[in-house]
Amino acid sequence: MATTMWSSGLGWGVRALLALLLGGIGPARAQGTDPPNVIIVFDGSGSIWGNMEGARQSKLVLARDGLRRALSTIGPETRVGLAGFGHRRGDCGDVEVMIQPERLDVDRVMAPLGPYNPRGRGPLTLALREAAKSLSNRNGPRSLVLIHDDADNCQPDLCAAAAELRAAGITAHVVGLAAKPADLAKMACLPQITGGRHLNAQSADQVAPAIEEALRLASAEPAGASPRVAPRTGPTAAPAPIPADAPPGLYLRALLAAKGEPVSWPVQWTVTGEGQPGAVLFEGKAASPMVPVAPGRYIVEARDGTAVARQTVEVADKAPTAIALVMNAGTLLVRAQMQKTGAPLDDAIITINDAGQGAETKKDGPAGPPVVLFKGGEGVATLAAGRYVVHVELGQVRVDRAVVVPAGTQGRIDIAVNAARVQLTASMRDIAETADSPVVFSIVEDDPDAPRGRREVARSAARQAEFILPPGTYYAIARQGGLEAREQLALGPGDAVKRTLSLTPGRLALATKLVGSTQAPSEAVSYRVERVDSSPPEAVTTSRAAPVLLLPAGRYRVEGRYGAMNVRTVREIELKAGVPQQLSLEQQAAALKLRLTGSPGGPALADVFWDIRDEAGRSVWTTGQAEPSATLQAGRYLVRAETPQKRYDRQIELRSGESRQVEVVAD
């Protein structure tokens, strides 16, 4: 039941009467539900000392002030905690849960941020995991709100951590402080996988509203959990009239408009003595409460949604004093449904944003800061008369509708969402070598302005990834380690598409053989394997002598190198999923040793510079050693020896497998 307070001067009998008369007060929280649990994860890396463009204050100060303001807007029942990272030692293990989640106390939550001293790295992924541990045994909705400026620079797998949070039933909302596009892309999978919201404040004046919206989302209950969120779709009974013989006191009613009927649902009432704003005589939530107060002048305030009405009243001595406060408001029932089927969208997030006088709907998002938020496919709100933009967010789909709420109306708007659902899984076989690497799914679309012509729109590391997308053409991609599978998707309105992407690899065993030699390769071996049927080409390199590579099915160009010079062989091969194949690259190599002497068989001269060129005249080996040696590709070469006095040229031909010494005699 909602907290009810009155002055200590009232006698016990009056209190008992008041308790009876307040029987119609609606509970602040539906019976059997627990308050939301929220831990704020606050960036303590050194970069947060920087300034946003055009701002005098640092991002740290802006975020700290914005957080204090935002905390004052959420329900007092919300259990709030605080975690930080990078603020003590500045290494990749520097994370701390500073405040465990407890009933909201703004000063308690903000206290550790006074001496907060950001100093180093940004292990935000580890901080999220540690904060999640503090939520593991909590009842009620559980959320993390991350406030940061850069991506994690400690090289963890954020998408894998997001999958862990989702499995634990924890939602993560992200507030970026002028985050760079590359960092936004890296962070995108955290809210996408956990079902949270990704907000990026580009300027100083956007910081506080972004944090406020994230906390609204984190502290909101699912639609239907509170009596005020349950839709009022039919006629409701008006409050009973005040009996003529009713005892003296304040009998309160709220009206949406001057000539309307009293509202029948609970609103928030506050009664204070005139000139005594801090002396609250009554505070409670009810449709039509009776407040037994002594004769005198009082300030009565009624709040419901964004509507507020306030009036100074005179309470009579021997008769009931009836007060009807005009809220100058209307109610709006919002329903989000699938356009093709009309089915309700229970996983949608609905915000109602103040559009301002004469504002028009913006295509790129809400017109103003959100004033009401619902989790679920429908909800009802009381709104001060005016213009609003209703914003529905479902996965990657955003829909805005401009509405006008006149005073005294109980309106309804059904918003059709044109969306398709995609469910992706991966089939895997023979990939034990990459089992420690999670499968990451991504959805990309063609974008001529993006690097390489494609832009990622969503990502997930869940075993069964689900995406909600606008109709269109996309590419579904599954990746694990070096493996990749992709499929083109053509999505229409209302489509529900399920795809299993095969990550079963082709197995390619590589080896190097020296033509004309019975000896095992003694020089360093390296391979470059480039897929030629993808755009842009993708390559894998390795310096293992006999690697076994697991690669997606497709056509590949394999280049093998032997030694440090010009010995190389190129082959093409077609790999099929699940089929092991071997490829032995035959290298035609020869060992060459050089020496310059003053006479045949004489000692080598030291002051010499060697330049060996191939048939095309390209220099393949230069050295200033007296007796150098190297392994070269079989073929014809020009051997040039230069001394301070003269240059000597010799034409030679190297055969594969031979080991040859060339002596140049100076004349």
Residues 6+ apart with CB under 8 A from 450: none
Would you kindly state where each structural domain of the chain is located, as residue ranges?
A: 37-219, 280-418, 420-500, 506-587, 590-665
Q: What percent of the chain has pLDDT over 90?
A: 42
Question: Lowest mean pLDDT: which of 175-189, 214-228, 573-587, 647-661?
Answer: 214-228
**Quick one: average pLDDT of 154-158?**
77
Q: How far is CA 130 from CA 16, 125, 134, 494, 553, in A?
A: 48, 9, 7, 39, 40
**Quick one: average pLDDT of 491-520?**
90
Q: What percent of the chain has pLDDT over 70?
A: 87
Long-range contact pairs involving 482-491 (C-beta distance under 8 Å, separation at least 24): 482/434, 482/540, 482/549, 482/550, 482/551, 483/431, 483/434, 483/550, 483/551, 483/552, 484/538, 484/552, 485/426, 485/552, 489/422, 491/420, 491/422
Instruction: State the virtual CA torsion across 111, 114, 117, 123 in degrees, nearest 10.
Output: 40
Q: Structure tokens of 14?
A: 């009056």
Among the ranges 27-31, 42-46, 423-427, 556-560, which has the highest mean pLDDT value? 556-560
Strand partners, 314: 297
pLDDT at 30: 38
Q: Structure tokens of 194?
A: 């956990």
pLDDT at 89: 76
* Sign of the CA dihedral with 292 first, then 298, 303, and 307 last: positive
Q: Is the pLDDT of residue 52 over 80?
A: yes
- Between CA 317 and CA 328, with CA 323 as vertex, the angle to 5 degrees is 160
pLDDT at 20: 34
The better pLDDT of the pair 345, 357 is held by 345
Q: CATH code for 590-665?
A: 2.60.40.1120
Query: pTM of whole model > 0.85?
Result: no
Reduced to 3 states (helix: H, G, I; strand: E, B; else coil), residue 429 is coil
Choices 3.40.50.410, 3.40.50.920, 3.30.460.80, 3.90.470.10: CATH for 37-219: 3.40.50.410
Q: Is the pLDDT of residue 433 over 60?
A: no
Q: What's the number of CA atoms in the CB half-sphere (13 Å) around residue 451?
A: 4
Query: Do 280-418 and 590-665 come out as alike in CATH topology?
Result: yes
pLDDT at 338: 86
Q: Does domain 420-500 have CATH number 2.60.40.1120?
A: yes
Q: Is the pLDDT of residue 1 over 50?
A: no
Q: Is the pLDDT of residue 225 over 80?
A: no
Q: Does domain 506-587 have CATH number 2.40.30.10?
A: no
Tell me the one-letter amino acid at 596.
Answer: L
**Quick one: average pLDDT of 609-637?**
95
Residues 6+ apart with CB under 8 A from 573: 508, 555, 556, 558, 581, 583
pLDDT tier for residue 370 given thresholds of 50, 70 and 90: confident
Question: Looking at 204-295, which runs of residues are DSSP E strands?
Answer: 249-255, 267-273, 276-286, 290-291
Name the phi and psi angles at 178, rounded to 5: 50, 45
Please give the Cα distance from 15 to 4 (Å, whole number): 11
317-338 pLDDT, tens digit per residue, is: 888 889 999 999 999 999 998 8
Q: Regarding beta strands 386-394 and 397-405, do their DSSP bridges make them parallel or antiparallel, or are they unpaired?
A: antiparallel
446-490 pLDDT, tens digit per residue, is: 888 877 788 888 888 788 888 999 999 999 999 887 678 889 999
Q: How far is CA 621 from CA 325, 488, 609, 629, 630, in A?
A: 94, 48, 11, 10, 9
* Sign of the CA dihedral with 109 first, then 112, 117, and 123 last: negative
Strand partners, 50: none
pLDDT tier for residue 32 given thresholds of 50, 70 and 90: very low
The better pLDDT of the pair 156, 570 is held by 570
Largest CA distance in the chain: 136
Instruction: State the virtual CA torsion across 259, 261, 267, 272 in degrees, nearest 10.
Output: 60
Q: Is the pLDDT of residue 196 over 90?
A: no
Q: Find out whether the peptide bond into 536 is cis, omega within 30 degrees of 0.
A: yes
Contact (CB, 8 A) for 321 and 336:
no
Contact (CB, 8 A) for 81 and 38:
yes
**Quick one: average pLDDT of 229-243?**
50
pLDDT tier for residue 440 given thresholds of 50, 70 and 90: confident
Other CB atoms within 10 Å distance of the CB of residue 449: 6
pLDDT at 368: 63
Listed residue (121, 116, 115, 114) closest to 151, CA to CA: 121
pLDDT at 240: 63
pLDDT at 223: 37
Contact (CB, 8 A) for 143 and 36:
yes
Q: Is the pLDDT of residue 491 over 70?
A: yes
Reduced to 3 states (helix: H, G, I; strand: E, B; else coil), residue 28 is coil
Mean pLDDT of the chain: 83
Its CATH class, for the domain covering 280-418, is: mainly beta
Tell me the one-letter amino acid at 611.
Answer: D
Please give the Cα distance from 172 to 147 (Å, whole number): 11
